[in-house]
């Protein structure tokens, strides 16, 4: 049911930069802000980026977000082993049935 499309996987070596894309439409990313979540194995998701490009307190500045039109992206610079996790974009969708919160399909980041 995901209406936000992400690549299933991404990888990099320690220190490299990885970028994850999130493609949506005018009713979600095109109209609302994008949030990103990090889910480490066996744990609950954690808010990583909110309002397109804002980092909650405690999130390293290695993580950055951006949005353009109906797409968004998450960049991880200076990749570290602890960044190996699943990453999800998310946004409100202005559906005809009322506000619907949609998550992306998820991207698994692997450290090589």
With a CB cutoff of 8 Å and minimum separation 6, the contacts of 64 are 49, 53, 55, 74, 75, 77
Query: In terms of DSSP H, where are the helices of the chain?
Result: none
35 binds another protein (CB under 8 A): yes
Judged by CB under 8 A, the chain residues 50 through 89 that form the site for another protein are 50-51, 56, 88
Of these, 26, 80, 95, 110, which contacts another protein (CB under 8 A)? 95
Of these, 33, 53, 64, 66, which contacts another protein (CB under 8 A)? 33
């Amino acid at each position: 049911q995901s209406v936000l499309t992400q690549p299933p996987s991404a990888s990099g070596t320690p220190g490299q930069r990885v970028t994850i894309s999130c493609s949506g439409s005018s009713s979600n990313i095109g109209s609302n802000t994008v949030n990103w979540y990090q889910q480490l194995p066996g744990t609950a998701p954690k808010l990583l980026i909110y309002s397109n490009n804002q980092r909650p307190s405690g999130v390293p500045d290695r993580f950055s977000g951006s949005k353009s039109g109906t797409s968004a992206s998450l960049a991880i610079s200076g990749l570290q082993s602890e960044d190996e996790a699943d990453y999800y974009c998310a946004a409100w969708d202005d559906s005809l049935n009322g506000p619907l919160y949609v998550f992306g399909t998820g991207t698994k980041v692997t450290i090589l």
